[in-house]
Amino acid sequence: MMDKKEITYFEKIEADLEEAYQRLSEDINNQDQNYKELQKYTIEYKNELDKFEVYDYQQTLNMIDKQGLAQVLEREQIKKLIESPYFGRFDFVYNGEEQVDAETFYIGRFGFRDEEGTSLIYDWRAPICNMYYEFELGKAYYEAMGRCFEGELIGKRQIKIENSQIKYVVESSLTIQDEVLQQTLNQHASEKMKTIVTSIQKEQNKIVRNESAYNVIIQGVAGSGKTAVALHRIAYYLYKYRDSLRADRIFILSPNKVFGDYISSVLPELGEQPIRSFTIDDLTESLLPPAVTFTSYEQETRAIIMDPSGELATRAKIKSNYSFVERLNTFLSDLDTKLLKKESISIADTEFTADYLKGRFFQYRKEPVATRLELLADDILQVLKAKRNGEGTYPSKNEIVKRLKKRLLYTTPLDIYRHFIEELGEDLFKYSKKTFEFNDVYPYLYVQLYFKGIKTFELVQHFVLDEMQDYTPIQYAVLSKVFNCKRTIIGDFSQALLPYETISKESFENIFSSIEYVELTTTYRSSYEIAMYAKKFMRTGDIHPIARHGEEPEEMIYKTFDEMIAMIHQMIQNDYKTTAIICKTENDLNRLISSLTVPFHVLDGQTEKFEAGLLVTTIQYAKGLEFDAVLVPFVDEFNYHTSYDQGLLYIATTRAMHQLTMFIDANNKSPLL
């Protein structure tokens, strides 16, 4: 039987929320009316108002605008709170007080105060709410206002409220095996990623509230909630540093457009403004000169998956490890000593020796080459002016720079990069009609950084990168310069899309000045049975599923393509919200969709919106997503036979929450099964 006091408090909160909603609605309507009347007045009497009055009225209108926006946002939060005002409660006794003096705190997605200013609901991000996630019953503490408050947790409850109705109240110590978490995980997948505030685990909470680390690297197994943790970390920062951090100054790098849409609702659900996400192709286009084009990251990845041992994969592989960065750094360092030819130059009847020029040029080696030439030109002008006591005429700075540039061994970043590749002694560079292969773009940008610098995002205050394992050290080396701010980098080394190792913990340590490396090894997405089945495809690390049991994965044997199609049609007749058929390649996808006779959505590089229902996609675009049921077709010796293919199967199988079906060719069984 439900606690009567809990029901009474809930009814009071609901009444207070309804009253606050009505009051805000009236205020908003009044503000809107005042705005319209004042705007009408300024238009009707604009010829009779002096400029100071006009300015004053405009400022008033701006103030009403800002107040109105704040009230609308507050009303939206209260509307959401009416549906589900809080999800937890804890009782805390401060040291030195008796248990009868225990204070009760209710925790929700947003905070709420009554008209007297008394906190009735605490925002999950508030300092005191850390105890709810961090401690079980017993001694506990929280830090706020530069102080540490110690005491004892004597009670903790998880509360489920939906549509303004209490579903249950559970006494809980909030372990990963608890009843509430099980119920949450047993739910069907939705169209968008949801918040996890009701079920944030202790190890996740530590990452969310970590304020000290400048670079957080999160290695998380499939289904560990790493992306959700990163987004809640952003929400926490926006709450904690509201006066200095803005949502439009946070940059999220997503693996593709549909993934950006998939995660787009999380922050608004937490009361924050949506944050735009960008793909690596979007970013790359903004960094390269307008006249230069490139084969997209998506296209190149797709081609490498199709032919993992081909020439393109070979070229990309050589540029994918940290030793490539080291060789390029060595080359550029050596170039500093010989880039400016050892020649003297005569300017305005004054000779500047080769030693003088090279010495000054080398002195400025921490600057891009273009900047060094300008600084050297300044030095030359100073010498000329000193020699002539500031009298007479002198060549312009631009003229001197042009003359100096003619004495460079290489005059463009492209020339430098070409020569570097030549020194490697292999045919590694394919460049025609001002078009780069993607594997060359970031080495080129790195050289451009050296030669003349590149665009930086100085206004960005926090950089988030997902799927870290699919980016290379040279790409990170450029990104570290482009985004000089706090970074949250997440991924899973076991879910690499490319057939060769790219980044590692050691590479991160070499690229970034300091990192805090965190591992998440518990998976919450898949049932125990699915997780243990997928584990056999895991190439590195380990995975620990929670004890949420479900159906055993099914291996369906087919002899012909038509037989497999018939089996697929049978398996998709389920009640799940999302079912995904995940192919290895685009060719397999096209072959499959031509035979399906039921409605479906194709999820590929052109897809911008995530939709529920039946989806047909490839492993490349399924990454980061989750589905109620997953079907993996064409599991045969041709598609899945190498260690690389094993990793692709790990990605595909770990997308499944409740049901996993593998379609296995009886005539060409994969050796990986």
Say which residues have a Cβ less than 8 Å from residue 115's Cβ, sequence separation at least 6: none
When pLDDT is averaged across residues 307-315 and rounded to a whole number, the result is 94
Angle at 240 between CA 236 and CA 242, to 5 degrees: 110
Using one digit for the tens of pLDDT, what is the confidence trace for 17-45? 999 999 888 888 888 787 777 777 777 77
Burial profile 524-539: b = 16 or more Cβ within 10 angstroms, e = fewer? bbbbebbbebbbebbe
Token code pair at residue 655:
């997308």
- Does the structure show a pLDDT above 50 at 177? no
pLDDT at residue 522 in the model: 94
> What is the model's pLDDT at position 144?
92
Query: Is residue 559 within a helix (H) or strand (E), and if so which, with residue range?
Result: none
Side-by-side strand order, sheet with 431-432: 293-294, 435-436, 431-432
Contact 551, 658 (CB under 8 A): yes
Condensed to tens digits (0 to 9), the pLDDT of residues 387-428 reads 887 777 888 999 999 999 999 999 999 999 999 999 988 788
Q: Please state, in angstroms and rounded to a whole number, the distance separating the CA atoms of residues 618 and 634.
A: 12
pLDDT in tens, 576-632: 999 999 999 999 999 999 999 999 999 998 898 898 999 999 999 999 999 999 999
Contacts of 154 (CB under 8 A, 6+ apart): 91, 92, 93, 99, 102, 137
Cα four-point dihedral sign 108, 110, 112, 117: positive
Q: Helix 297-306 vs helix 280-287: angle between axes, to the nearest 10 degrees?
A: 130
Identity of residue 549:
H
- Across the chain, what does the average pLDDT equal? 90
- Res 532 pLDDT > 80: yes
Residues whose CB is less than 8 angstroms from the CB of residue 572 and which lie 6 or more positions away in sequence, other chains included: 579, 581, 598, 614, 629, 631
> pLDDT > 70: what percent of the chain?
95
* 23-to-117, 118, 161 alpha-carbon distances in Å: 15, 17, 24
Pull the structure tokens for residue 85.
Answer: 């005002």
**Res 190: pLDDT:** 57
Residue-level pLDDT at 176? 38
Q: What is the pTM of this model?
A: 0.90
